[in-house]
Amino acid sequence: MKPTRSFFKDVLREGPASGVPKSAEKSGVLTSEGIQPESQIISGTRSRQESAKADNFASEPERYELHSSALHHFDLQRRDFFKVLGAGIAIFTVAANASAAQESGTRRHHGDQDQPRDISSWLHINDDGIVTVFTGKVEVGQNTRTTLAQSVADELRVPLASIRMVMGDTALTPFDMGTFGSRSTPYMSPQLRRAASAARDLLLAQAAAEWKTTPDKLTTRDGKITNPASGATLTYAQLAQGKTLARDMPDADPITPPEQWTIAGKSAPKVAARAFVTGQHQYTPDLHPINVLHAKVLRPATFGASLVSADLSAAQAMPGAVVVRDGDFVAVAAPNERAAEKALAAIHAEWKNEPQSSSKELYSYLKKNLDREENPKPHEKGSVANGLAAASQHHEQTYTVAYIAHAPLEPRAAVADWKDGKLTVYTGSQRPFGIQEELSAALHLPKDQVRVIVPDTGSAYGGKHTGDAALEAARLSRAANRPVKIVWTREEEFTWSYFRPAGVIEIKSAIAPDGKLSAWEFHNYNSGGSGIQTPYDVANQLIQFHPVNSPLRQGSYRGLAATANHFARECFMDELAQLTKIDPLELRMKNLSDPRLRAVFESAAKTFGWPQNKTQPGQGFGMGGGVEKGGYVATFAEIAIAANSGEVRVVRVVTAFECGAIVNPDGLRQQVIGANIMGLGGALFESLEFDDGRISNPHFAQYRVPRFRDIPKIEAILLDRKDLPPAGAGETPIVGLAPAIGNAISDATGIRLRALPLAPRGLNARKNSA
């Protein structure tokens, strides 16, 4: 599908508007946070050796995140460009190396040589000075629309307000693998910076030609080029006027180092924020094309059930209803939501169910059902047997982690329009190009006939990688010959999406009386390999992830298995501290040489006030930390246990986080605090229960997520390392809280809990049922 001019105007007007009022700029970075506000930013620089060290923890995409690799697709050709955007200057940057191409603009060869297959990023400077930037990344609340815009504004030397971001549209943006793995900041941001840098070079060359001088004699600032020798200035808008200049530039320009950032590195309010407080922003469920039908899908009675029979006649007889049966897929579309519900209720279906396991036997199931086909290599160093023999004290424990749901407040939703053999789908997703691929494959449509557009989405947390809702709406639209909208119910969300994998983790270790670890054996069954490596110095290691044939559909989640692996490892470290009677912080430091991780532990400990003396019964203190996806985190928690109910309340949390140079301190603080609040649910009470192919608690009334009353005082300490490139920050801050709470419960009560969630119904219930 070729985008039309009018569509494009709509995108530019409604979607990514970027109006940043001067007065909204916060003064400095020490803005308040927390119900009792306190936060701080600590700047610092250390040796370059640390950045090499960081590579040991370079993020690898989790296997769950790569279940399909989309092909490059690029519909808007250079010759169409100015027709839709108007006159000006367009810069296409060409991926110079394979690592950049991996994220975006993969070079593919399939036919039409006119198509720019190797474009990694592009931007357009309009003759009114507006800069439009195109990226396949999507905004799901993590604030990447703002932080990417800041990076481009910074590099191009224009005010932030002149940037428009066009995001997550397979017809307009270069191919992108998806918005996950904390990759937007470390990988997309430099790509866009290189495009901006190339654009600035081009503008400088234009101005230099005009003034008969050389670019190196000129300066750029605030959307203007100045010739200091003559005092002459030209705005970018003036330079773009009357031009239809498109240039391919190598994706190789040097980009501005963080020390010299002027717009990035400072807090900037969320772009286009006003639409969110007035209810004007349209999420996917809010789109309402003319003649749209509302869809409902007949869900199987249990997971994996097969359809024996379905009587569709009553539904088909309803006015305006379209009913589809395609294999086991049965669904209806009707003129409004209520009519669709009624049509669905009128279908009589019979299902054949298969007996299935239950959450009661989950952990033994996981140990018994290894996926023998997939056997990732263990990480081995030295000899665990020798390490065990070398030290006097041994310790061995097992930890478990339940399945949990993402529960994004915007449920999975899609609006599909199948017209003249072409399909356009709006959907809340983290992988627009992946979903384009899914649609193409499932509906037997050439990929260039499928366009997927992602409106800024009501959160995802790793839960919106698959195109289930998009497929359902598209299949119905084909049958109805009209646009079709589907919005999953909350029960469908809790049942038919995928979940954060449950897991069993076994650890065996040996420690000398002085607290030095000599052996470390770590096995993770099912939950995953993220964050599985220990950051502590142990000469003898065996670390292995064991894939399992999961009883439930599972997939990505904020931080993935790093939460489970950190929970087990950091609780175990506390157990070793108890065994050796060494202070838990001291024990960690004795075994930790990574200066960046030491720095976050030290910073958080100082602000938290470690060690603390208990002043009342039920009080406890604990910590947890680690490194993942280039982010270093240490979290300290204080808890209080209610004497009567045994309810565990988190009173105070201090998290120190370091992810290289900070792009937007205010946005980063939101992510660090938000990750802790989200993590509180998985730590204390979230757990999907299931039995015989059904989720037993598929409602917010039964599946408890954190609410206002649960929120502790949270302090975020942000360590700004302008000497290091920025890493992503949406995920890793979540990993420290669960072990910190587990360790604090042990501190308060002497009871060591080794299962997440730790205390879904308070400690008394756990004791009684144990």
Closest to 357 (Cα-Cα) out of 304, 299, 300, 308:
304
**221 vs 274, which CB is nearer to other proteins?**
274
**43 vs 336, which CB is nearer to other proteins?**
336
Amino acid found at 501: P
C-alpha 455/C-alpha 701 separation (Å) is: 29
- Please state the closest distance from residue 696 (CB atom) to other proteins, in A: 16
C-alpha 592/C-alpha 581 separation (Å) is: 18
- Please state the closest distance from residue 428 (CB atom) to other proteins, in A: 9
Amino acid found at 353: N
Closest to 175 (Cα-Cα) out of 105, 76, 93:
105
Phi, psi (rounded to 5 degrees) for 636: -115, 140
Amino acid found at 270: K
Report DSSP state, residue 359: G
Q: CA torsion sign, 15 to 171 to 7 to 129?
A: positive
C-alpha 766/C-alpha 744 separation (Å) is: 17
Q: Report the interface residues with other proteins, using CB under 8 A.
A: 19, 21, 23-24, 32-35, 37, 140-143, 269-270, 273-274, 276-283, 285-286, 288, 294, 336-339, 407-411, 456-459, 461, 487, 489-490, 666, 670, 673-678, 699-701, 705-709, 711, 714
- Name beta bridge partners: 169: 453
Please, are residues 428 and 457 in contact by the beta-carbon 8 Å criterion? yes
Question: CA dist 715 to 489, 491, 652, 722, 734, Å?
Answer: 35, 35, 8, 22, 14
- Please state the closest distance from residue 298 (CB atom) to other proteins, in A: 18
**370 vs 711, which CB is nearer to other proteins?**
711
**198 vs 604, which CB is nearer to other proteins?**
604
Closest to 611 (Cα-Cα) out of 587, 583, 639:
583
DSSP secondary structure letters along 228-287: TTTTEEEEHHHHHTT-EEEEEEETT-----GGG-SSTTS--PPTTTHHHHTT----GGG-
- Please state the closest distance from residue 458 (CB atom) to other proteins, in A: 3
Q: Phi-psi bin for 706: left (phi > 0), alpha (psi -120 to 50), beta?
A: beta
- Please state the closest distance from residue 189 (CB atom) to other proteins, in A: 19
Closest to 432 (Cα-Cα) out of 751, 135, 639, 93:
135
C-alpha 284/C-alpha 458 separation (Å) is: 9
**62 vs 410, which CB is nearer to other proteins?**
410
**273 vs 765, which CB is nearer to other proteins?**
273
C-alpha 463/C-alpha 452 separation (Å) is: 18
- Please state the closest distance from residue 320 (CB atom) to other proteins, in A: 13
**222 vs 337, which CB is nearer to other proteins?**
337
C-alpha 501/C-alpha 523 separation (Å) is: 15
Please, are residues 705 and 760 in contact by the beta-carbon 8 Å criterion? no
- Please state the closest distance from residue 736 (CB atom) to other proteins, in A: 14
Q: CA torsion sign, 441 to 443 to 448 to 450?
A: negative
Q: Is 98 helix (H, G, I), strand (E, B) or coil?
A: helix
**381 vs 707, which CB is nearer to other proteins?**
707
**93 vs 563, which CB is nearer to other proteins?**
563
**377 vs 709, which CB is nearer to other proteins?**
709
**583 vs 647, which CB is nearer to other proteins?**
647
- Please state the closest distance from residue 482 (CB atom) to other proteins, in A: 15
**410 vs 731, which CB is nearer to other proteins?**
410
- Please state the closest distance from residue 278 (CB atom) to other proteins, in A: 6
C-alpha 428/C-alpha 735 separation (Å) is: 26
Q: CA torsion sign, 207 to 213 to 216 to 220?
A: negative
N- to C-terminal Cα separation, the chain = 60
Report DSSP state, residue 593: -
Q: For residue 596, give both structure tokens.
A: 């960046």
- Please state the closest distance from residue 670 (CB atom) to other proteins, in A: 6
- Please state the closest distance from residue 463 (CB atom) to other proteins, in A: 10
- Please state the closest distance from residue 528 (CB atom) to other proteins, in A: 22
- Please state the closest distance from residue 31 (CB atom) to other proteins, in A: 8
**142 vs 749, which CB is nearer to other proteins?**
142
- Residues 6 or more apart in contact with residue 358 via CB below 8 angstroms: 690, 691, 692
**209 vs 409, which CB is nearer to other proteins?**
409
- Please state the closest distance from residue 655 (CB atom) to other proteins, in A: 12
- Please state the closest distance from residue 468 (CB atom) to other proteins, in A: 17
**13 vs 699, which CB is nearer to other proteins?**
699
**268 vs 568, which CB is nearer to other proteins?**
268
C-alpha 344/C-alpha 325 separation (Å) is: 12
- Please state the closest distance from residue 277 (CB atom) to other proteins, in A: 4
- Please state the closest distance from residue 491 (CB atom) to other proteins, in A: 8
**What are all long-range contacts of 437-445, with beta carbons under 8 Å and residues at least 24 apart?**
437/68, 437/70, 437/71, 438/68, 438/466, 438/467, 438/470, 438/471, 439/467, 439/470, 439/471, 439/474, 442/471, 442/475, 443/471, 443/474, 443/475, 443/478, 445/421
C-alpha 61/C-alpha 67 separation (Å) is: 11
Question: CA dist 597 to 79, 514, 660, 679, 718, Å?
Answer: 51, 21, 12, 20, 13
- Please state the closest distance from residue 626 (CB atom) to other proteins, in A: 20
**530 vs 676, which CB is nearer to other proteins?**
676
C-alpha 392/C-alpha 76 separation (Å) is: 67
**247 vs 694, which CB is nearer to other proteins?**
694
- Residues 6 or more apart in contact with residue 361 via CB below 8 angstroms: none
